[in-house]
Chains A and B, each alone.
Chain A
Amino acid sequence: MSDFRIALAGNPNTGKSTLFNALTGMNQHTGNWPGKTVIQAKGNYTFNEGNYTLIDLPGTYSLYSNSADEETARDYIIFDRPDVTVVVVDATSLERNLNLVLQVLEMTDQAVLCINLIDEAKKRNIRIYDDRLEKKLGIPVASISARNKAGINLLLKKIEGVAKGEIVTSPYQVKYSEQMEEDIQRLEPYVSQIVKGKYPTRWVTLKLLDGDRSFMDHLYQRVFSEGDVSHV
């Protein structure tokens, strides 16, 4: 029996699997090359008497429909609605990694940012201001070194906080060009009527504007086979 489902998202090669192993004790191999985790792994851990199921999503650069892996990760976050999505990022290339974080924040507000490889960043004289990030992104941030098992406790506390609703988040929303924002506003009311709070309205609207055919197909499949969207 598990109380909460936690999804791990992140770019390839950010030490996601190392963290997964550190938390679940499962013996999954970790190597240093992109795309190492191709199989979705599941494991359990307990924290403060709460039971958590951890789902290791495939490592992806983004959550658009560029590949099967990206669709898997995206669909899990959108359709399976984990209690918390933890985005694992590489402290030494935060800029590129934030890209994925911002995409996740468009999809869910139940998120925690986990900055891994903080030891590596220190070695390379990179200083990351967690507090500023926390304020800016509006979600809890934890810096860790998964392979040294440092900072894990704080991370787990923050995951617990979000899972139990003790930490209230207010995720950063990317502001698009004026024209884009205008179009989003025009479409949003209609989208909202259809998805009825089951899916993030703004994000679905973005997918429409993006012309993401594959997502639409998945949405139709999910939603209309379950029949959980009533006729308008």
Chain B
Amino acid sequence: MGEHKMMSLYESRPGDHLLIKSLRLDGAMLRRLLDLGFVPGAVVKNVQRSPMGDPVAYQVSRTTVALRKEESSQIDCQKVKGEINHE
């Protein structure tokens, strides 16, 4: 596992645990994502893609929230080791 490589949330794969580093967004979208728990320092999990690949569902603050590519590609994160996941 490349644990320290920076990537966007969009590039993550189902099952990945990701530490959020920064959000390259502003205005209402930034505020909404912050409200939902996409804050720097939080660990989120890529749960799964929708049938057509986009949006993708993420687990954040013990809830599941779907984001589109437009937003998730603006969230920088690092892959971290999570619990073992059977896929």
Contact = CB atoms under 8 A, between A and B. Distances in A.
Q: Classify A-B as touching or not with yes or no (CB < 8 A).
A: yes
Interface stretch (B29-37, B49-57, B68-76, B77-85): B29-37
A61 B62 contact: no
Contacts of B36: 61, 96
B65 to A, nearest CB: 9
B61 interface: yes
Contact of A64 (B31, B60, B61, B62): B31
Contact of B63 (A62, A64, A66, A96): A96
A96 B36 CA distance: 7
Contacts of A95: 37, 61-62
A53 interface: no
Nearest to A124: B62
Contacts, number: 27
Q: Please classify how large the interface on chain A is, using the bins under 10, 10 to 19, 20 to 34, 35 or more.
A: 10 to 19
A110 to B, nearest CB: 24
B62 A66 contact: no
Contacts of B63: 93, 96
A99 interface: yes
A145 interface: no
B35 A99 contact: yes
Interface residues of B, number: 10
B35 to A, nearest CB: 4
A85 interface: no
Contact of A66 (B31, B37, B60, B61): B31
A114 B23 CA distance: 32
Interface in A61-75: 61-62, 64, 66
Contacts of B35: 61-62, 64, 66, 99
B1 interface: no
B76 to A, nearest CB: 21
A158 B60 CA distance: 31
A92 B37 CA distance: 15
B61 A61 contact: no
Contacts of B60: 96
Contact of B62 (A62, A96, A99): A96
A44 to B, nearest CB: 32
A61 B60 CA distance: 14
A230 B33 CA distance: 39
Nearest to A95: B61
Interface in A113-170: none
- Sorted nearest first, the 4 A-B pairs with minimum C-beta distance are A96-B61, A61-B35, A62-B35, A93-B62
8 contacts: A61-B35, A64-B31, A66-B32, A94-B62, A95-B37, A95-B62, A96-B36, A99-B35
Interface of A: 61-62, 64, 66, 92-96, 99
